[in-house]
């Protein structure tokens, strides 16, 4: 991607934002606007589960969690604030059973026994078809996060066997709002955030939310800077017509990023690190991870009548990611030296354009209500990669006292990017969804989606038999849902659902190699049976959701036992489990919310290295995950918060010979309402400074964050 293009786009975005602010100020001076008082009250987020708010992710019909025959989780802005979630990955802790890590080149999420390639991570309902696109974003620009467990390709397309997670950014609203926050913390953390929503004229509202963070790390040499901007303009034209123009910008620059800590020998049984290496960084002295993302969306809505609504979303996505690192470290047999390898110079250049037309029609079949959703999705996603890798040993260093080289001092490495191949994915999809009341308290919810996915690979390097000049393949998955929701009482329902999904056999298609595409003629398939209940109890002081599910994923690419160079689409994985989430509000002062999950995930038919892995558990998949949050208002102005998270053991290798043990950590928060408009918040994360692996492989552990503390000042004005 041309750097000049990025510069022009960034300057255009900043100009757009500044124009909105100037217009807002001018309009405020030129006309009288009704005053709406905004105060920074202590975040008394309700501890009850949100079961009745219409959602964007559970259904295209805008059903609530209670109306949907599936497990649905909502983490709204109030919960984000009261729990102090710094970024999108910390927000994910509120979703039952989800684990995540943010290793720079391997962003990972596990949900219902499946990893990132089988999880759809959406941004405002748009699937950018690339797991690394889910790099953590500061929570300031996030309005809420919604998630649906299990196969859900029928909603947003292929890649959702384990579930879908939807990150929704703040948009302009028909109100006045202004707020700011300053946060300081350990390791040189400095952060400033501002949010403004203002009326420009009759029927026009502008919103800008901007955040900048600069911080070090307990890991040697790691420094990072990130900026997030969300700007939008809402125009109300009357007669049911509105339009929102939205722009988002994200930039993250990490100096000498941390890739992991080598495991101590012998590497078998319980994995461990040498504690003295916990904060050591074996990357090159000038290692780099940089990310720049631009989003532009045009959202037009037309309420044609009381029965019919049409929405059209046109979007442009542009992302550039650069890597310059030595990424793999392992101990020698005696644990006296660290062997550094896998030097990688890499660039990912991704552009995506798409349009989605959605319609909702409310009708009746006889005396029964029958609502329909329908639509057309079209997108073109193109990614070019520029790898220059050296898998061999770079150097061997003392584990505790060492100096690493500058990256371009590594033999064979030099500045400049050389393109490898272009992956172009063109998707066209039609969908239809229906909810019909069979009898007054029993609703049938169905959905069907048909896609045509065309993958075109263009070789940008030497042409060989293994890497031809070009290769193309197409896939035509059809996925769906069949569910029943029975309202047993006004406060309790029971549901059952059968759902299917489609999933790329080798991860995401936007990075698939020639071998992946030539060997794998089909997408993998997933199907799920789920039953559950959603209920209120204790005279409105309690809410809960309970679900049990069984998922089967077939056509996984597994190694041919007769030819290790080939793969066969005969692999199979199953996942079955239960999920329980509870919200309690015993008194006005006390609130509790928690969840616990159990999943039994294993391969049924899978080979790796000519070895059968049948009965083995996929790596980094904990059997149990539990979370508990408690909020207590000591006084009207003073509120305390405690969060406890427990994650079960995970296997580091496919053969299940190496594991990281279960762990528990605790977060504390304290907020004080200084005045009506000013609030002071302090937090301690990982109070006991627990050493744990957020992700682990056969040679390294990517450690979770150490104990940190920060204090923030929030102001409404």
Would strands 308-331 and 338-365 be described as parallel, antiparallel, or unpaired?
antiparallel
Does the pLDDT at position 43 exceed 70? Answer: no
Does the pLDDT at position 377 exceed 60? Answer: yes
Does the pLDDT at position 137 exceed 50? Answer: yes
Q: So what's the pLDDT on residue 12?
A: 42
Average pLDDT over residues 498-508: 85
Q: So what's the pLDDT on residue 515?
A: 84
Estimate to the nearest angstrom the gap between the alpha carbon of 461 and the chain centroid. 33
Q: Find out whether 651 and 143 touch, Cβ atoms under 8 Å.
A: no
- Choose among 713, 711, 596, 693: nearest CA to 650: 693
Reported pTM: 0.92
Residue 213 neighbours by CB distance under 10 Å:
20
The enclosing H or E element of 517 equals helix 514-519
The larger pLDDT score, comparing residue 128 to residue 374, is at 374
Alpha-carbon span 193 to 282, nearest angstrom: 33
Would strands 658-660 and 269-270 be described as parallel, antiparallel, or unpaired?
parallel
Q: Which residues contact 679 (CB under 8 A, 6 or more apart)?
A: 40, 41, 42, 671, 672, 673, 713, 714, 715
Alpha-carbon span 115 to 106, nearest angstrom: 11
Q: What is the pLDDT of residues 178-202, one digit of tens each?
A: 999 999 999 999 999 999 999 999 9
Q: Find out whether 404 and 283 touch, Cβ atoms under 8 Å.
A: yes
Q: Which residues contact 535 (CB under 8 A, 6 or more apart)?
A: 491, 492, 493, 543, 544, 545
Q: What is the pLDDT of residues 144-181, one digit of tens each?
A: 999 999 999 999 998 889 999 999 999 999 999 999 99
Alpha-carbon span 692 to 685, nearest angstrom: 13
Token couple for 7: 């510069």
Alpha-carbon span 598 to 622, nearest angstrom: 8
Does the pLDDT at position 19 exceed 70? Answer: no
Q: So what's the pLDDT on residue 562?
A: 65
Query: How many residues are given for the chain?
Result: 717
Average pLDDT over residues 347-363: 97
Alpha-carbon span 613 to 558, nearest angstrom: 10
Alpha-carbon span 687 to 665, nearest angstrom: 7
Residue 116 confidence class, pLDDT cut points 50, 70, 90: confident
- Residue 286's DSSP bridge partners are none
Alpha-carbon span 17 to 249, nearest angstrom: 11
Q: What is the pLDDT of residues 420-454, one digit of tens each?
A: 999 999 999 999 999 999 999 999 999 999 999 99
Residue linked to tokens 């207590």: 632
Q: So what's the pLDDT on residue 159?
A: 83
Q: What is the pLDDT of residues 548-568, one digit of tens each?
A: 999 999 988 776 666 655 666
Average pLDDT over residues 478-486: 97
Token couple for 594: 């928690």
Distances (CA, A) of 283 to 259, 331, 395, 563: 8, 15, 11, 37
Q: So what's the pLDDT on residue 566?
A: 61
Torsion, Cα 273 275 279 280, to 10 degrees, reads -70
The larger pLDDT score, comparing residue 254 to residue 135, is at 254
User: What value, to the nearest 5°, has the Cα angle with vertex 489 and ends 487 and 493?
Assistant: 40
- Choose among 693, 586, 605, 587: nearest CA to 649: 693
Average pLDDT over residues 561-589: 85
Q: So what's the pLDDT on residue 502?
A: 92
Residue linked to tokens 């004080």: 672
Work out the mean pLDDT of the chain and round it to a whole number: 91
Does the pLDDT at position 37 exceed 80? Answer: no
Residue 26 neighbours by CB distance under 10 Å:
12
Largest Cα span, the chain: 79
């Amino acid at each position: 991607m041309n750097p000049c293009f990025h510069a022009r786009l960034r300057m255009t975005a900043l100009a757009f934002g500044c124009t909105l602010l100037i217009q807002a100020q001018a309009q405020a001076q030129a006309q009288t606007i009704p005053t709406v008082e905004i105060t920074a009250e202590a975040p008394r987020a309700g501890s009850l589960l949100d079961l009745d708010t219409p959602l964007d992710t559970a259904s295209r019909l805008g059903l609530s969690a209670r109306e949907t025959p599936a497990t649905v989780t909502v983490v709204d802005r109030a919960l984000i604030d009261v729990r102090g979630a710094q970024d999108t990955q910390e927000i994910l802790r509120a979703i039952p059973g989800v684990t995540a890590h943010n290793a720079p080149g391997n962003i990972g999420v596990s949900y219902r026994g499946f990893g990132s390639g089988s999880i759809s991570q959406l941004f405002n309902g748009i699937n950018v078809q690339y797991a690394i696109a889910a790099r953590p974003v500061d929570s300031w620009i996030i309005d809420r996060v919604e998630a649906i467990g299990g196969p859900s390709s029928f909603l947003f397309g292929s890649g959702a066997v384990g579930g879908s997670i939807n990150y929704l950014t703040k948009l302009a609203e028909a109100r006045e709002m202004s707020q700011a926050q300053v946060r300081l913390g350990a390791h040189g953390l400095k952060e400033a955030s501002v949010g403004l929503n203002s009326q420009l004229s009759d029927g026009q509202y502008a919103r800008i939310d901007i955040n900048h963070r600069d911080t070090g790390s307990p890991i040697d040499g790691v420094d990072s800077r990130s900026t997030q901007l969300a700007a939008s303009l809402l125009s109300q034209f009357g007669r049911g017509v509105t339009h929102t123009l939205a722009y988002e910008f994200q930039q993250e620059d990490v100096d000498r990023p941390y890739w992991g800590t080598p495991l101590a020998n012998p590497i078998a049984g319980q994995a461990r690190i040498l504690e003295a290496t916990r904060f050591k960084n074996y990357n090159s002295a000038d290692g780099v991870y940089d990310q720049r993302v631009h989003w532009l969306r045009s959202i037009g809505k037309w309420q044609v009548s009381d029965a019919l609504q049409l929405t059209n979303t046109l979007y442009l996505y542009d992302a550039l990611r650069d890597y310059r690192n030595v990424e793999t470290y392992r101990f020698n047999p005696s644990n006296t030296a660290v062997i550094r390898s896998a030097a990688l110079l890499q660039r990912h250049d991704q552009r995506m354009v798409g349009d989605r037309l959605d319609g909702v029609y409310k009708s009746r079949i006889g005396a029964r209500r029958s609502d329909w959703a329908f639509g057309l999705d079209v997108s073109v996603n193109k990614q070019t990669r520029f790898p220059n890798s050296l898998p061999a040993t770079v150097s061997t260093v003392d584990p505790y006292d060492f100096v690493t080289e500058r990256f371009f001092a590594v033999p064979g490495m030099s500045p400049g990017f050389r393109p490898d191949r272009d992956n172009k994915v063109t998707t066209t999809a039609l969908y239809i969804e229906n909810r019909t009341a069979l009898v007054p308290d029993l609703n049938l919810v169905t959905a069907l989606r048909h896609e045509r996915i065309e993958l075109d690979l263009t070789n940008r390097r030497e042409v060989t038999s293994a890497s031809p000049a070009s290769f193309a393949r197409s896939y035509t998955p059809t996925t769906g849902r069949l569910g029943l929701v029975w309202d047993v009482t006004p406060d309790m329902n029971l549901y059952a659902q059968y759902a299917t999904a489609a999933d790329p056999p080798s991860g995401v298609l936007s990075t698939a190699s020639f071998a992946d595409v030539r060997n794998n003629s089909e997408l993998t398939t997933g199907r799920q049976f789920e039953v559950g209940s959603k209920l209120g109890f204790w005279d409105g002081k309690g809410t809960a959701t309970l679900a049990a599910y069984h998922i089967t994923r077939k056509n996984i690419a597994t190694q041919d036992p007769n030819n290790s160079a080939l793969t066969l689409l005969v692999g199979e994985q199953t996942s079955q489990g239960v999920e329980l989430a509870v919200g309690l509000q015993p008194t006005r002062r006390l609130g509790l919310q928690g969840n616990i999950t159990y999943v039994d995930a294993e391969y049924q038919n899978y080979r790796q290295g000519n070895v059968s892995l049948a009965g083995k558990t996929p790596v980094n998949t904990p059997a149990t995950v539990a979370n508990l949050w408690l909020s207590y208002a000591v006084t009207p102005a003073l509120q305390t918060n405690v969060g406890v998270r427990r994650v079960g053991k995970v296997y580091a290798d496919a053969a299940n010979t190496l594991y990281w043990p279960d762990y528990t950590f605790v977060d504390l928060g304290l907020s004080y309402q200084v005045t009506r408009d000013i609030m002071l918040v302090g937090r301690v994360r990982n109070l006991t400074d627990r050493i744990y692996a957020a992700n682990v492989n056969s040679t390294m552990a990517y450690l979770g964050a150490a104990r940190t503390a920060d204090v923030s000042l929030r102001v409404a004005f």
